[in-house]
Every structure is written in structure tokens, then in C-alpha cells.
Chains A and B, each alone.
Chain A
Amino acid sequence: MEEQLEKVLSEIVTQHDTVGALLANRQGLCLGAKGNINPNVSGIGMAISEQVAKLEPNNTVPATICLYSGNKRCVIQKDGEITGIIYKQTATTSTSATN
């Protein structure tokens, strides 16, 4: 059934600094989640990516969103029907200013 998807998620979670990964469908429903990530964020992740896509509707390249919070960050991208959300955490506390 969804073994391939599980495999992809597991592979992503093992990568450097990555703590969790999630995949949402067009309706914002969670298709699969792995690692330290709440499956309930699939809807809001999809909604954020849709709003960001409205900033430049003529741009064909899918927008990537990065939310920073301390040493953690959340990367969101919507390409076509699916939205991917990745949680990342750096080992050393980041001091970079965000606006």
C-alpha cells in the first residue's frame, strides 16, 4: 500500500538535523508522518503554503517557507497536490536574528 511513502519519510528523518517529516494532501490531510512531528499540523502547513503561493501567483517555482524558532525551524513546501513539512533542529543554538 504505502510502503514506498513510509520509506521516503524514514529516509528524510535520518538526514542531518532533521527531527520530523510530514506529507499532506490537497485537502491538508496527513498522508504520512515520521519522527517528532504532530500529524495534526498537516492542515495548517498546507494553509500556510497556499497563502504564500498567492504572494507571487505567476511564479511557477513552488515557494519554500521557513519558520524559525530558536534552534528549530520548520520548512514547508507545496508542489502540486502535496505539501511537505520538515522539522529541523540544530545542535548548537542559533543566534541569527529573524524578522
Chain B
Amino acid sequence: MDYVRSIFECLASICSCWNCTDDLSSQGIEPSERTHLLADSVNQSPALRRSNSADLSNDYSQSLPKKDDQNALSRLVQNTAINMINVGALESHTLEHQEYTDRIKLYSQRLQQQWNNIQHPGVVLKGLLKDVPNQSYLSKCINPDDTAQMKMFIHKSQSAVLGIQIDHRDAVVVPFHIPSHIHKYNY
């Protein structure tokens, strides 16, 4: 539905362009910075195919002088081509919704495959020496007296470290002894 709506909007803009180009051409606007330098772009635009300039010139040949008519028509076609977006050319880049979802599925599937192939070191090895069997590094038991002594030492130390306070005896702000002759020069 969006696609159809966009086509309608495009057609509506083309119609409005027709009107505006009519106004512009009737006022006799000279080639400006917006006029196309390449003649090919005018020929490629579907507006030109739709409104064949030869047919138009035949229709209006009686009512208008021939030279002015040709000029007006060419200007009209040129202005239309400037204000137009070639939807036909854009179509090749757009994806159908089905194709879009298919690609999402395919890419996520491939990502999942690659993810499974990776060895995740953070998950597999938690801690050092995990590849050593039977925890052979814990071969000798520590003397329980040593453990108890250390536990007591750490416990007492923690509270002692928390109790550390700075008792400053000197003045916190120390005045600089600036020589008096500097004052003399300043004032």
C-alpha cells in the first residue's frame, strides 16, 4: 500500500510541476542554475515519453506561432525534467518485503553459526589452571595455626586501617614569605 501511495504522490507532484512549469514558461524564464546541463537526462525521463513533444506541438500549432511554441515546449519539458524524480530508476534498488525478511533470516542464521564456532574463553576458562585435573596445586595442607593466625591478623588489621586518621599539627595554609621590595615595585 505504501508503495502505491508513493506512486500517487509522485504523480501528484508531477501534475503540480506541470502547472508550475506552465507558469514559469509563460513568464519566459531564462535558463538558470537549476536547468540541466546534460541533454540525456531530459531524454531519459519518463515524462518526456509520456508527453511526446511532437504530438503537443501538432496540437498547439494552430493556436500559437510556430517558433514560440517550440521554444515554450522545450522549456516546459526541460523544467519538468528538472523537477522530477525518476521513480523507474529507483525501483531497481528497492527490495520486496519478502526478500528483505529472507535476507534478515539468512544473515542472522550465518551469524549464529559463526558465534557457535567461536571458543568463548571467558565462559570456558573461569579462573587460572582450570585445565589442570584434580586440582593438584592444592597438594599440601596449610598448618591450621597459620590460617587462624592470619585470619586474626587480617581481622584486626582491617579495623586498625579504618581507624587511621591524619592529625595535622602544622598550619594547613602556609603563607609565602614574599620579599618586601616586590611590594614596593607593585604599589
Contact = CB atoms under 8 A, between A and B. Distances in A.
Contacts of B149: 12, 15, 18, 75, 86
B142 A64 contact: yes
B160 interface: yes
Given A58-B126, A88-B146, A2 B157 contact: no
B128 A54 contact: yes
A84 B166 CA distance: 23
A16 B143 CA distance: 13
Main secondary structure of the interface of A (DSSP, over half): mixed
Interface string B114-157: 00000000000011110000000101101101110111011011
B185 to A, nearest CB: 44
A84 B151 CA distance: 9
Contacts of B154: 62, 77, 79, 82, 84
Contacts, number: 82
Interface of B: 126-129, 137, 139-140, 142-143, 145-147, 149-151, 153-154, 156-161, 163-167
Nearest to B165: A1
Contacts of A98: 140
15 contacts: A1-B165, A2-B164, A8-B157, A51-B128, A54-B128, A57-B126, A64-B146, A64-B147, A66-B142, A66-B146, A75-B142, A75-B149, A86-B146, A99-B139, A99-B140
A7 B150 CA distance: 16
The range of chain A's interface size is 35 or more
A85 B108 CA distance: 54
Nearest to B126: A57
Contacts of B160: 2, 4-5, 7-8
A21 interface: yes
Contact of B161 (A12, A31, A54, A73): A31
B156 A8 contact: yes
A5 B157 CA distance: 6
Contacts of B165: 1
A55 B161 contact: no
